Amino acid sequence: MNKNFYKYITHMVSLFFLLAGTIGCSDFLDKYPLDKQTEETAFDTYDNFKTYAWGCYGFFRGFDTYTNTYDIESSWDEQYSDNMVYAGASQITSPYAYQLKTVPTTSTRWNRTFEYVRKVNIMLKNIDGSSMVGSDKDHWRSVGYFFRALYHFDLLKWYGNIPWVDHVVTDTDQETLFGPRVSRTTVTQNMIDDLKWAETHIKPAGDGTNTINTQVVRALLSRITLFEGTWEKYHDISDGSAFLNECIRVSAALLGDQSAILLNYNEKYNSVQLGGKAGILLCKEYATDIQGHRIGRVTRTNAWNYSVTKDAVDSYLCTDGRPVSTSTVYDGDRSMYSQFRNRDRRLYFTVMPPYRVTVGPSTAWTYTSNPGDREFIDLMAGLPGNGTSEKRLPSQQFAGNYVAVSPHIQGVDLGGHAAVCNKMGFYFWKYYNTHKVNQELGVDTENFPLFTIEEVMLNYAEAACERGGFTQSVADITINKLRPRANLPNMTVSTIDAGFDTNRDQSVNPLLWEVRRERRSELMGDGFRFDDLKRWKKGEYVNKENVYLGVYIKRSDFNNPALTAVKELKKGDAAGEGYVWWFDAPPGWLNKYYLEPLPTNETTLNPNLLPNNPGWEE
């Protein structure tokens, strides 16, 4: 998705609506206007298809661009998982855990995604009639198959059984317009068939750096097959073996071509140029003169309401390679300093570590008289590759003023500036960087990773484990490629037994639990976790108490000892201390939440979509 996409998009949106408005008007299309493009004149040369295909990339989500909307609704669902809570001033956390979900009237996801399906089917329809040579036709058919699979996969994750639309639907196509949903297994097989064809027919290098190519096709195939294989296994549809075996095959093929990763974890999330870098298969690029985003500013305000949960923080390994329940170097959680000591370095790049400084004028700060307050200031400054331009402590708010302390809890006056604060104390700062420190909106240009080799490694590891084939050699080409930059020892498969983690979900095999842990740590905040919980049929994880606990604090450490904004402190060892607690215990996950309800407008227009998904029938 290079910068040319943004130059083409305005033109192509206009063309798309032109084509949509003329399809079916056969009398008009009998004569082709010489001064305008129509469907028959727009699709002829290789460059015609290249230009049109840029519009298909618009489906990919990225950073918020200050429109308060994404291309698809709820595209970042991490806040609904056990990794994170969204705690705004007037918004409670997960509507799933608190049973606030209802059947919607309309769905942006449903409508917009099928608009994209129509867009790509128009392109596919016109390939055979073009003047391109056979290999070029194969390439654009492969690109089309990729996007059509991507769009259907988004709907399948959300709704399960869905219509499969593989042609341009007209207003006379009653069979498709009013047809039933197709089983998820059939939809998945259709996607796999398309992608396997594309895998062997697309130009290996695509159309240049950061475009759809063989590696990206394989990455999507790896993602889809792992998802559906585990979904079918844990939701008792099948044993999932066919899909999981395909995940192993395609992931291994991709890793055989590409296994290098960025040495600095933070670089993957805070680079202004990701395309072509190690491990980056596809990313969303931004440019100041075309389109920027606002993530750098928002993460520095008091409106960044994402808190990482204690459960997620506890899930990171310690530097001896063991979980907090059995590590010999874990220092406990009775302060954030001890809790973060000797931990997986990915935690430091995801959750702002603790510190305390004395803030003077807006451009000045000094260390406190307590040497311990600077422990993580020094650690972050010394991490390889972090330097002084990205994640340094103390943090700064949007205008460049320093923030005095972390954890910085909303409603507590600690001096300095009332920004870079949240309710739980575990501040999600994965996208925080100091490339820009200003008050402007929509000017950030850090790239957003879409497909990475790290995800493929984790897909391979999990699929192999599900199939009983996760050996030390598999660990060495997957998980152990990720461990060095996390400052962790390699995973040794033979040492992982029932006692390795005493906090493990006892219904999960110990080795599989550790494979899932690695996925959680590596992809924390990337938008995978909620889908993972659903495909594993582990929605009840959002009910865990540690999801709603924050940092452990002592009231005496704060200038506002009453901490009136905090509901209460839980499980303190003494009076006046405990874990920050904001929310009442939720009533909990309902099984019907594994699939979203179809919107009533759609089921009214097409009753053949009914019955609605289980639990939503009424």
Q: How confident is the model at residue 123 (pLDDT cuts 50, 70, 90)?
A: very high
Which element (helix H / strand E) includes 99? none
Mean pLDDT of 46-71: 77
Residue 35 has pLDDT above 50, yes or no: no
Q: Which residues are CB-contacts of 254 (< 8 A; sequence separation ≥ 6)?
A: 215, 218, 219, 222, 453, 456
Of the candidates 292, 325, 311, the residue with the CA atom closest to the CA atom of residue 438: 292
- For 543, the token pair is 């009910």
Residue 6 has pLDDT above 70, yes or no: no
Residue with tokens 């990337």: 526
Per-residue model confidence (pLDDT) at position 380:
94
Distances (CA, A) of 11 to 5, 59, 138, 489: 10, 16, 25, 52
pLDDT digits (tens, 9 = 90+) for 335-354: 999 999 999 999 999 999 99
Identify whether the C-beta of residue 250 lies closer than 8 Å to the C-beta of residue 185: no
Rounded Cα gap, residues 275 and 257, in angstroms: 17
Whether a cis peptide bond, with omega within 30° of 0, leads into 611 is: yes
Q: How many residues does the chain have?
A: 618
DSSP readout, 181-198? PB-HHHHHHHHHHHHHHH
Distances (CA, A) of 450 to 1, 123, 453: 10, 23, 10
Round the average pLDDT of the chain to a whole number and report it: 87
- For 354, the token pair is 């603790």
Residue 503 has pLDDT above 90, yes or no: yes
Per-residue model confidence (pLDDT) at position 5:
36
DSSP readout, 17-60? HHHHHHTT-HHHHTS--TTS--HHHHSSSHHHHHHHHGGGGGGS
Residue 388 has pLDDT above 70, yes or no: no
Which element (helix H / strand E) includes 354? none
Per-residue model confidence (pLDDT) at position 290:
80
Mean pLDDT of 111-131: 95
Per-residue model confidence (pLDDT) at position 299:
87
Residue 300 has pLDDT above 80, yes or no: yes
Q: How confident is the model at residue 143 (pLDDT cuts 50, 70, 90)?
A: very high
Identify whether the C-beta of residue 38 lies closer than 8 Å to the C-beta of residue 32: yes
Residue 92 CA neighbour count, 13 Å, CB half: 13
Mean pLDDT of 175-201: 96
Neighbours of 62 (CB within 10 A): 21
Greatest Cα pair distance in the chain: 84
Neighbours of 298 (CB within 10 A): 19
Question: No. of H helices and E strands in the chain?
Answer: 21, 10
Burial of 539 (0-12, 13-18, 19+ CB in 10 A): buried
Residue 466 has pLDDT above 60, yes or no: yes
pLDDT digits (tens, 9 = 90+) for 316-336: 999 999 999 999 999 999 999
| Cβ-defined contacts of 363-368 (< 8 Å, 24+) | 363/400, 364/402, 365/394, 365/402, 365/404
Ramachandran sector of residue 32 (left: φ over 0; alpha: ψ -120 to 50; beta: rest) = beta
Identify whether the C-beta of residue 281 lies closer than 8 Å to the C-beta of residue 550: no
Per-residue model confidence (pLDDT) at position 31:
41
- Check residue 78 and report its DSSP letter: G
Angle at alpha carbon of residue 42, lines to 290 and 15, rounded to 5°? 45
Identify whether the C-beta of residue 521 lies closer than 8 Å to the C-beta of residue 488: no
Q: How confident is the model at residue 426 (pLDDT cuts 50, 70, 90)?
A: very high
Residue 30 has pLDDT above 90, yes or no: no
More confident residue, 89 or 522: 522
Q: Percentage of the chain surpassing pLDDT 90?
A: 67
Q: How confident is the model at residue 25 (pLDDT cuts 50, 70, 90)?
A: very low
Q: How confident is the model at residue 436 (pLDDT cuts 50, 70, 90)?
A: confident
Rounded Cα gap, residues 519 and 513, in angstroms: 10
Per-residue model confidence (pLDDT) at position 293:
84
Burial of 35 (0-12, 13-18, 19+ CB in 10 A): exposed
Per-residue model confidence (pLDDT) at position 389:
54
More confident residue, 294 or 90: 294
Residue with tokens 């954890």: 407
Per-residue model confidence (pLDDT) at position 23:
37
More confident residue, 408 or 557: 408
Identify whether the C-beta of residue 274 lies closer than 8 Å to the C-beta of residue 280: yes
Identify whether the C-beta of residue 511 lies closer than 8 Å to the C-beta of residue 470: yes
Of the candidates 401, 432, 428, 438, the residue with the CA atom closest to the CA atom of residue 417: 401
